[in-house]
Amino acid sequence: MKLISALRQPFVGLALMAAMGIITAEILPFPSVALIPTAVILALCILTVACWPRLLATYAVVGAGFFLLHNFQTKSTEGQQLADELGNRPRVVTVTGCVISEPKIAPSGFATFLLKLKSIELEGRKQSTHAIWQVRWKGVPEFGDELKFFGTAEPIPPSRNPGEFDMRSYLARRDVRRLLFVRYPEGGTLIRHGGGNPIMRAAQKSRAWMQNVLCRGLEDAPDVQNFLSGIVLGLRHQTPEDIEEPFQQTGTLHLFAVAGLHVGIVAALLWMVATVARLSRKSAAALIIPLLLFYAAVTGLHVSSMRAAVMSSILLGGFFFDRRGFVLNSLAAAAVLLLCWDTNELFSTGFQLSFAVVGAIVLLADPLCRSLERWSVADPFLPRVLVRGPRRLMHASFDWLFRAGSVSLAAWIGSLPLILWYFHLVTPISLFANLVVVPIAFFVLAIALLSLLSTPLLPWLAVVFNNANWALATLVIGIVQLFAQIPGGHFYVGPPRWPEKLIAQITVLDLGAGGAVHLRTGGANWLFDCGSERSYQQVVREYLHWAGVNRLDGLLLTHGDALHLGGVTQLVDDFPRIRVVDNPAPDRSTIHRRLQRLFQE
């Protein structure tokens, strides 16, 4: 039976062996000089297995293949070679390249994006390269623009504080080893528009058009605009922190990651259109598969959207061969295909969460549902046709509740270890929040798609749909914020600590010119200063989450400048019952005087 199961769902074993091969290559890297001879030997093994197939031999060859593939993708890359040539100090360079990511504009006016280099000029020497750099420039670039920059190439700094996001490691996985800082707008020159991948360029233009359509008539509701852009198009970076954080604390942040729910609704609507057009199943599948992949490109080719699009494509592809698709096998096939494209995806948070959650739902949802249904099972000797009226409605309600609850519980179980590891957060309230929010989000997505479909013919109808979505989006945001305020609904968990005989533990955070010090003594937590507004958002708050601080007993202000107390307003919002001890020494700080008036009120 095990052999039959493996043959019916072969990609499950292949995905496990691929992961084992990549992890082995990460722990035990292979010498570069041995990669080519080993690849030749592996090719001979592949030919042997193709002629005399054996299940275990196939798994071994796949594991060895991904072991070599990860070594090839991580050793002697162009980004690493160029970084080694530039050294560890900032260098003034002139580069040309093409924008390959959507620029993100900060409030300061600086755009941050990825640039695939074509050439670099250093100390009078010009050379070709295909390395990818991160660029900060006070300009307005677009995806696909070919640009020339004069600026400073700097090593990407590591994280300096506990709990701080390690941007250097994150970018290194994508072979991005340098940050090019272009101080003035004049440091960048546009060479030409319309470069880069034509499919991705078309996807970017389509996304801009869709965002404009979805936000039409909602100009006076920026929070709703950002919410709709995030939930429909995956534009999560446009969502403000005060809107996004309650979704994280209630375990509903997955709504902003375009995944199975979004792709499923798109596929269902396209299937309805194909049915109305009386297309055959094979013709409908041939039409829907490329459209789903294009929708994944429109939403930014994130792991969750690619996984859902590939899974749906494999399931729909079964119509071409008149074979039934298996969900678990399709999930594993999507993992194998994504790892073939980039083995480093295995170590990304998005990849791990996406596949862990869906895998848990596939494996656990049905058993959990059957266990829950035992509590409301009807009389087995009573035919269902005789169950009528309120009793039938009650059984139908319980069936829906148990099915939805089992999916929510399975997803929570699958994500819990990773959420603890990466975000130090436990969200028991998510079991109930998802039951309420996800059905409403389904209607939000459906109405948004109806708005997009009606815009070319009936623009006024699209505005009606958008206003309906305004009501639903406002309802979702309000419900999520309500769930986030329930005591015990979420809490942060710090790293495990061995029992120590310490009177106090003091952590001094590195905030540059500002300052913040955390004092933990007994069961009390005090903070001495909290840094600037930006430092509090990016460093202090993340540290407090990492340390498992759910309640601050007090805040002592030692300085009156913005670098030490600029984040007080946000800190008081996060910890409303905190005791604040102010420094009475006179100073000329306007922000300090404003805070003193706020405290007096």
Q: Distance between CA 130 and CA 26 in Å, rounded?
A: 24
Q: Distance between CA 505 and CA 508 in Å, rounded?
A: 10
The stretch 376-396 carries a mean pLDDT of 62
pLDDT digits (tens, 9 = 90+) for 183-228: 888 998 888 887 767 777 777 788 888 888 888 888 888 888 888 8
Q: Which of 479, 572, 478, 566 is nearest to 529 (CA)?
A: 566
Looking at residue 116, its pLDDT comes to 93
Interhelix angle 222-233/430-454, nearest 10 degrees: 90
Looking at residue 333, its pLDDT comes to 84
* Tokens of residue 406, six digits: 């089992």
Which residue's structure tokens are 């020159």? 189
Looking at residue 2, its pLDDT comes to 43
Predicted structure pTM score: 0.82
Looking at residue 488, its pLDDT comes to 85
Instruction: Point out the least confidently predicted range of 29-38, 287-296, 380-389, 579-588.
Output: 380-389
The pLDDT of residue 3 is above 60? no
Question: Residue 281 CA to chain centroid, in angstroms?
Answer: 33
* Tokens of residue 47, six digits: 């030919």
The pLDDT of residue 576 is above 90? no
Looking at residue 6, its pLDDT comes to 47
DSSP string, 435-483: HHHHHHHHHHHHHHHHHHHHTTT-HHHHHHHHHHHHHHHHHHHHHHHHH
Mean of the per-residue pLDDT values of the chain: 82
Please provide residue 210's backbone torsions phi and psi, each rounded to the nearest 5 degrees.
-65, -40
Looking at residue 321, its pLDDT comes to 63
The pLDDT of residue 308 is above 90? no
Q: Which of 560, 553, 548, 547 is nearest to 527 (CA)?
A: 553
Give residues with Cβ within 8 angstroms of 566, minimum separation 6.
Answer: 514, 530, 531, 532, 533, 534, 535, 536, 591
pLDDT digits (tens, 9 = 90+) for 102-111: 888 887 888 9
Looking at residue 151, its pLDDT comes to 92
Looking at residue 144, its pLDDT comes to 85
The stretch 142-152 carries a mean pLDDT of 90
User: Is 568 in contact with 589 (CB distance < 8 Å)?
Assistant: no
The stretch 368-382 carries a mean pLDDT of 68
Looking at residue 423, its pLDDT comes to 87
